[in-house]
Amino acid sequence: MPKILRVNMTDRTATYEDVPERYKFLGGRGLTSTIVYDEVDPTCHPLGPNNKLVFAPGIVTGTNAPTSGRVSVGGKSPLTGGIKESNAGSSWVQAVAKLGIKAIIVEGFPKESGWWGLYITKDGVEFFPADEYAGRGLYEVYPQLFERFGKKAHICSIGVAGEMKMAMAGVCFNDNHGRPSRYSGRGGLGAVMGSKGLKFIVVDDTGAPGVEIANPDLFNQGRKKLLEALRQHDITKPKGGLNTYGTAILVNIINEAGGYPTRNFREGRFEGAAATSGEAIFENNKKRLGKELYNHACHPGCVIQCSNTYYDEKGNEIVSCIEYETTWALGANCGIDNLEAIGKLTWLCNDLGLDTIEAGGTIAVAMDAGLLSFGDWEGAIRLLDEEVRKGTPLGHIIGNGAAFTGKAFGWYRVPGVKGQNMPAYEPRAIKGIGITYAISTMGADHTSGYTIAPEILGVGGKVDQFDVNKAELARNFQYTTAFIDTTGHCLFIAFAILDIPSGFEGMVEECAGLLGADWTPDDAARIGKEIIDRELAFNRAAGFTKSDDRLPEFMKYEKLPPHNVVWDVPDEVLDAVFGE
C-alpha cells in the first residue's frame, strides 16, 4: 500500500505513515494543496519553521499512462504569500511513485547551519551531508551526484538561489539526459526547500514494487483512449506542432494576435519574434547539425515530446530547453532578439536554480526602471552570473522577483498579480487569460486555466480574444486544470482532450481504474472545484481579499499597441468566477 514519507529537518528523521482515507483518491496538486491546507498555518512566514514543502506524484504517475510523469510541489509561497503548487516533468517523480510513496512532506527547521541531502531507496531513507555541493552551479554538481549515487539515481535539488532563499528560486529535477533543467519554478518553493536546509532528494527505485492498479482493465481502456487522442491531434501528435517546434511554436502565433508582451508589457508585438521562435530554433539547429532535429521527452513515457535542445554554430549544445515562456521572458520582454543570448540566460537560470519567467520579468522591470537598457543582453547576463550568483545586495534584490525589484527601484510598471510576474500573454489583448491571472489562487499563472486554447488556438471551440464576459470560461478551465494537475498528466494533453471527447474519457478512466474509484468525466470539474475551494480558503485565511484579484493599475489606462486596448474587464466579472 502507498505511504506518506514525513521528513523532519529539525531532528533529521524520516518516517513512513499510512495514507489517511481523506487522501486516498488524491494525487498531484489535489494532494499537495490538501496537505498544505490541513497542516500549514496560513499566517506563517513562508521561510519560517511552520511552513512545509510537499512533493506528490500524480494519480497515474509511475505507470505506463502516456505523458504522466509530473510532480506537484506545494507549500506557502514566499513570492505570493499564498498557497502554491508548481509542477514539472521528470523521471524523479516516477521513481518516487514506483517506491510506493504517495507524498513526501518536508517539515521542521534545522537547528544549525549546513546542508543535507536525502537518499531514498526501497530499503529506506538516509541523510547525507551536502555542504561540499553548496555554492556551486548545478551543471557542475549533477554529474558528481550521478557518479556518487549511480546512473539509476534521480535528482531533486535547489541551486544557489534556493540556498540564499531568493523568492524566485525553483525546485530542480533532472531530465532524461541528467541535465538540471526540469523545474517546478514558480512561486519560490526552492527558497522554502532552502529554508529547511535541504539541498537534494536523490531517489533510486531499483527493485521498487511499482504502482498498484486496482482495476487494470479500466485503466488500460482509458490509457488507450488517451494515447489515441494524443497521437491524432495536430498539436500533440508525433512530428506535430509541439514535437517539431516545441512550446515556442506559440511565439509567432501570439505575436500575430498582438498579445505578445514586449519590453515589460509596453507593446503586444515584438519585431524580433520570428528570430526567437520555435521555428527559428528548429531551422538554426537544422542548419548547424545538417539534419532535422525533433524534440525529446522531459520524462520517460511522454508521447508529446516537446523539449528542444539548442546548438551553437559549431554544433555544441547551448542549453535544453528553451520553452515558449523562457524565450519570451528572457527575449521579447527584455527587448532581446538574440537566441544565443537567450540560450545563455536560460542556462544560467538552470544553473542557479531560478524560475525563467520570474527572472525575465524581473530583469524587464529593472530595465524599465532604468537599471539597464532594453535589449542589453550582456547586462542581463551580468545581473544573473555576477550579482545573483554571488549574492550581492543587488543580486538579492533581483533574486526576490519583479514585485520586490519594482519596490526597490520605486517603479510602478510591475505586471504581476499577488506578487507573481505575468507569463507570456498580454491580458489587455487576450481577456480570458487576464481573468485567469487575476483570480488564480497561484498569482498570475497561465497554467491555472489556459484559456489561450479557445481564445487564440481555436481548441475546444473559438472564442473572441477581446470579449470581456468570460467568467464561466475561466471557471471551467480552472476547475478542469486543477483535476489534470492532480492526475499527474502534463497539461499539454488538454489540447487533445478538449477536441477529442474520448481522450477526456480516457484520462478519467485511467484515474478511476488505478484508484478503484467510481468516476465519470462529470467528476473532473467537481474534484477540481473541491481542490480550488481549499486553496481559496487557505488564501482567505492568509489575508487575501477581492482587491488581490486585480490586475495592475497601469493596464487600465495604458493602451497596448497594436490594438490600442486597455484592461477593461469589470471587477464584477472577476468576482463572479468563484462567486466570492
Cα separation of 408 and 216, whole Å? 56
Residues 50, 175, single domain; the answer is yes
Cβ 317 vs Cβ 106: under 8 Å:
no
Domain termination site, one of 203, 238, 263: 203
Query: Can you give the length of the chain in residues?
Result: 580
**Amino acid making up residue 470:** K
Cα separation of 87 and 55, whole Å? 9
The pLDDT tens digits along the chain (580 residues) read: 899 999 999 999 999 999 999 999 999 999 999 999 999 999 999 999 999 999 999 999 999 999 999 999 999 999 999 999 999 999 999 999 999 999 999 999 999 999 999 999 999 999 999 999 999 999 999 999 999 999 999 999 999 999 999 999 999 999 999 999 999 999 999 999 999 999 999 999 999 999 999 999 999 999 999 999 999 999 999 999 999 999 999 999 999 999 999 999 999 999 999 999 999 999 999 999 999 999 999 999 999 999 999 999 999 999 999 999 999 999 999 999 999 999 999 999 999 999 999 999 999 999 999 999 999 999 999 999 999 999 999 999 999 999 999 999 999 999 999 999 999 999 999 999 999 999 999 999 999 999 999 999 999 999 999 999 999 999 999 999 999 999 999 999 999 999 999 999 999 999 999 999 999 999 999 999 999 999 999 999 999 999 999 999 999 999 999 999 999 999 999 999 998 5
pLDDT at 1: 83
Cα separation of 580 and 573, whole Å? 11
Cβ 242 vs Cβ 323: under 8 Å:
no
DSSP letters spanning 327-369: HHHTTGGGT---HHHHHHHHHHHHHHTB-HHHHHHHHHHHHHT
User: Is residue 19 a part of any domain in this protein?
Assistant: yes
Domain termination site, one of 359, 393, 424: 424
User: Is residue 322 a part of any domain in this protein?
Assistant: yes
User: Is residue 134 a part of any domain in this protein?
Assistant: yes
Domain termination site, one of 371, 401, 424: 424
User: Is residue 510 a part of any domain in this protein?
Assistant: no
Cα separation of 333 and 267, whole Å? 9
Task: Please name the residue that has the C-alpha cell 514506483.
Answer: 98
pLDDT at 579: 85
Residue 294 DSSP code:
-
Q: Give the global pTM.
A: 0.98
Residues 43, 148, single domain; the answer is yes
User: Assign residue 193 a region: left if phi > 0, alpha if psi is -120 to 50, beta otherwise?
Assistant: alpha
Q: For the domain that residue 166 is a member of, what is the CATH number? A: 3.60.9.10
DSSP letters spanning 297-312: -SSTT-SS--B--EE-
| Degrees, nearest 5: CA angle 266-271-277 | 105
Residue 54 forms beta bridges with which residues?
74, 105
- Alpha carbon of residue 15 to chain centroid: 28
| Whole-angstrom Cα Rg for the chain | 22
**Amino acid making up residue 153:** A
Residues 148, 90, single domain; the answer is yes
Cβ 426 vs Cβ 448: under 8 Å:
no
- Residue 228 CB neighbours (<10 A): 16
User: Assign residue 492 a region: left if phi > 0, alpha if psi is -120 to 50, beta otherwise?
Assistant: alpha
User: Is residue 564 a part of any domain in this protein?
Assistant: no
Q: Alpha carbon of 240 to those of 49, 214, 327, 501: distances in Å? A: 47, 34, 20, 20
Residues 27, 143, single domain; the answer is yes
Cβ 261 vs Cβ 415: under 8 Å:
yes
User: Is residue 513 a part of any domain in this protein?
Assistant: no
**Amino acid making up residue 264:** N
Q: Please report how many Cα atoms fall inside a 13 Å half-sphere around the Cα of residue 295, on the Cβ side.
A: 33
Residue 268 cell numbers, joined:
503586444
Containing structural domain, residue 338: 247-294+307-424
Residue 516 DSSP code:
T
Q: For the domain that residue 405 is a member of, what is the CATH number? A: 1.10.569.10
Residues 195, 276, single domain; the answer is no
Cα separation of 81 and 73, whole Å? 16
Alpha-carbon dihedral angle through residues 75, 77, 82, 87, given to the nearest 10 degrees: -60
Residue 36 cell numbers, joined:
498544505
Cα separation of 90 and 376, whole Å? 33
Residues 130, 28, single domain; the answer is yes
Residues 117, 257, single domain; the answer is no
- Residue 363 CB neighbours (<10 A): 30
Cα separation of 465 and 49, whole Å? 44
Cβ-proximal residues to 38 (8 Å cutoff; 6+ apart), any chain:
none
SS3 of residue 210 by DSSP = coil
pLDDT at 580: 58
Residues 35, 169, single domain; the answer is yes
Residues 118, 190, single domain; the answer is yes
User: Is residue 85 a part of any domain in this protein?
Assistant: yes
Residues 127, 259, single domain; the answer is no
| Degrees, nearest 5: CA angle 253-298-122 | 155
Cα separation of 149 and 445, whole Å? 36
Residues 160, 258, single domain; the answer is no
- Torsions phi, psi of 181, nearest 5? -135, 0
User: Is residue 406 a part of any domain in this protein?
Assistant: yes
Number of domains in the chain: 2
Cα separation of 298 and 94, whole Å? 12
Q: Alpha carbon of 429 to those of 250, 446, 451, 560: distances in Å? A: 15, 14, 13, 8
**Amino acid making up residue 105:** I
Residues 112, 13, single domain; the answer is yes
